């Protein structure tokens, strides 16, 4: 997806701000991967600016659609339903993070010869598993216990849109773009939670996750553009966005699901 001039400006300003706050040289930033700012220093590791896909500051963006490309926003009633079923939504969130880590591991295992893919996704495995642990920690703090993993109707529907007739290489594009779309929708939902939940601590909690997912969404798109023609990626991405909008129209609004 091509960036607008204002989008690129926002990213450039953000990187300069990070460098200023961190007091680092342009070569190295010691922040959690893709701008996940929080006091959980045990998850922090260094990355080079060459591989940095900075988070998109939402106060610099006009709409969710302009940043993420999603064609249909989440029904605002979802937040209120989720707030009433906090244990369920946190359980589903935890398993979403676990599945995100598993997706990255699977891609690395199936495409080990692709150096950029391996180098970029290996840290994400660490981060997503860290997110899983953070959600569990938040649940324990509230005296809640995770339930059993449930079927994700949204992801199942997306997977049905995958073109399976291509070769091994072609299926990589499908998998990368599906992963990008899941991250984009997750980011949008985390944004809604961070802005509309009544409890301030939970709003802050989900603000951190929102910022992280914005970077992940861009990462999968950029990896796709490394191995495939930009026009091919753009065309297929637009098709996925249209198919995802139809899925969102057809699935029911559930407060016990993150998607």
Position 67 scores a pLDDT of 59
pLDDT of residue 55: 39
Q: What pLDDT score was predicted for residue 54?
A: 36
Per the CB < 8 A criterion, the answer to whether 243 and 161 are in contact is: yes
Residue 191 burial (10 A CB sphere; 0-12, 13-18, 19+)? buried
Task: Kindly report each contact of residues 84-88 with a partner whose C-beta sits within 8 Å and lies 24 or more positions away, as own/partner.
Answer: 84/255, 85/255, 85/256, 86/142, 86/144, 87/139, 87/144, 87/145, 87/147, 88/147, 88/255, 88/256, 88/257
Q: Would 29 be classed as within a structural domain? A: no
CATH code: domain of residue 194:
1.20.1260.10
The pTM is what?
Answer: 0.76
Task: Say which residue the tokens 């946190």 belong to.
Answer: 90
Q: How far apart are CA 193 and CA 188, in angstroms?
A: 9
Total number of domains constituting the chain: 1
Would 16 be classed as within a structural domain?
no
Number of CB atoms found within 10 A of residue 88's CB: 20
Domain assignment of residue 19, yes or no: no
Give yes or no for a contact between 196 and 79, defined as CB atoms under 8 angstroms apart: yes
**Residue 150: predicted pLDDT:** 86
**41 domain residue, yes or no:** no
Q: What pLDDT, on a 0 to 100 scale, did the predictor assign at position 115?
A: 97
With respect to residue 190, please indicate whether it lies within any of the assigned structural domains: yes
Q: How do the residues of the chain divide into helix, strand and coil, expressed in percent and rounded to 5?
A: 70, 0, 30
Tell me if 180 is assigned to some domain: yes
User: Strand, coil or helix: what is 148?
Assistant: coil
Q: What is the CA radius of gyration of the chain?
A: 18
Give 100-105's long-range contacts (Cβ < 8 A, gap of 24+): 100/124, 100/128, 100/131, 100/179, 100/182, 100/183, 100/216, 101/125, 101/128, 101/129, 101/132, 103/175, 103/179, 104/128
Q: Is residue 187 part of a domain?
A: yes
What per-residue confidence (pLDDT) applies to 43? 30
Q: Which domain holds residue 110?
A: 75-250
Mean pLDDT by 10 residues, the chain (259 residues): 40 40 34 30 30 37 57 93 94 96 97 97 96 96 90 94 89 97 94 95 93 87 96 97 96 90
Q: Would 121 be classed as within a structural domain?
A: yes
Length of the chain: 259
């Amino acid at each position: 997806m091509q960036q607008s001039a204002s989008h690129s400006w926002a990213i450039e300003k953000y990187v300069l701000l990070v460098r200023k706050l961190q007091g680092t040289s342009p070569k190295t930033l010691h922040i959690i991967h893709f701008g996940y700012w929080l006091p959980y220093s045990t998850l922090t590791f260094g990355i080079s600016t060459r591989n940095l896909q900075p988070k998109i500051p939402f106060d610099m963006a006009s709409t969710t659609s302009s940043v993420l490309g999603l064609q249909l926003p989440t029904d605002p009633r979802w937040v209120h339903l989720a707030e009433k079923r906090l244990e369920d939504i946190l359980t589903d969130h935890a398993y979403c993070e676990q599945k995100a880590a598993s997706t990255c591991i699977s891609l690395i295992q199936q495409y080990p010869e692709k150096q950029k893919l391996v180098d970029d996704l290996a840290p994400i495995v660490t981060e997503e598993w860290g997110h899983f642990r953070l959600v569990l920690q938040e649940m324990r703090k509230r005296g809640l216990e995770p339930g059993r993993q449930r079927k994700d109707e949204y992801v199942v529907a997306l997977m049905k849109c995958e073109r399976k007739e291509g070769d091994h290489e072609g299926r990589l594009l499908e998998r990368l773009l599906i992963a990008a779309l899941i991250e984009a929708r997750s980011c949008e939902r985390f944004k809604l939670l961070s802005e509309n939940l009544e409890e301030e601590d939970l709003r802050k909690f989900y603000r951190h996750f929102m910022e992280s997912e914005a970077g992940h969404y861009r990462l999968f798109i950029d990896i796709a553009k490394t191995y495939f023609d930009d026009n091919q990626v753009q065309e297929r991405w637009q098709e996925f966005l249209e198919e995802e909008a139809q899925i969102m129209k057809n699935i029911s609004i559930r407060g016990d699901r993150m998607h």
